Amino acid sequence: MEIFLTYRGKIPSKRKSLAAIWEMRRSFHHQLAKVRKSDPFNVLDREFFANSARTIREQRFAPLYGKHVKVQIMLDLVLLTGTPERKSALSSGDLDNRLKRIIDALRMPSQADEVYEDPISPDTCYCLMDDDSGVSSVSAKLGPFLGSNDPEESFVFIKARGTPEAVTLENLALLF
């Protein structure tokens, strides 16, 4: 099964940009909440996901994929950043770190210092995966972002696809 996610905004190259990572996570949550309500996720038992949920600083986080379902994620990203005059994404920050920040926003936080004070959701914040070890592969294409004159604004298009660690009756529906 493929999941398509988008984000438009600042994508920091430094880990200390918790507010920017939180905004990405908020955007992804709203999209993933819609995915969670659709097939095949909506027919799976709540307990299927409950074992993987984590509460940090009064915010509950739940991944769609991860160790609990024995499914890893393959990520294909298209990252548009900068302006036509500054075509290289590297001119506005370290590319590897930007990709890492995107992955940080897609995974569940693991400790309190990764959770911003403003809750994303009064109920559950959905994340794509439980942690970044759930990423089996990443491919990225780069280009200039023509939708903005702000060189700090970026647009990312993400295609996520599940890949099994082990095929089980419980996770079979998540793979196709």
Query: 114-131: b or e for each residue (b if 16 or more CB lie within 10 Å)?
Result: bbbeeebeeebbbbbbbe
Region class of 167: left (phi > 0), else alpha (psi between -120 and 50), else beta? beta
User: Token pair of 87, please?
Assistant: 């075509």
Residue 32, pLDDT > 70, answer yes
Using only C-alpha atoms, the chain has a radius of gyration, in whole angstroms, of 16
Q: Does residue 62 carry a pLDDT above 80?
A: yes
DSSP string, the chain: -EEEEEEEEE--SSTT-HHHHHHHHHHHHHHHHHHHTSTTGGGS-HHHHHTT-EEETTEEEEEEEBTTTTEEEEEEEEEEES-GGG--GGGGS-HHHHHHHHHHHHBPP-SGGGS-SS-S-SSEEEEEESSGGGEEEEEEEEEE-TT-S-TTEEEEEEEEEEEESS--TTTHHHH-
- pTM for the model: 0.88
Assign 44 a pLDDT band (cuts: 50, 70, 90).
Answer: low
Q: Per-residue pLDDT tens for 78-94?
A: 999 876 665 554 554 57
| Nearest-angstrom CA–CA distance, 124 and 46 | 12
- pLDDT band, very low/low/confident/very high, at 150 (cuts 50, 70, 90): confident
pLDDT category, 112, cuts 50, 70, 90?
A: confident
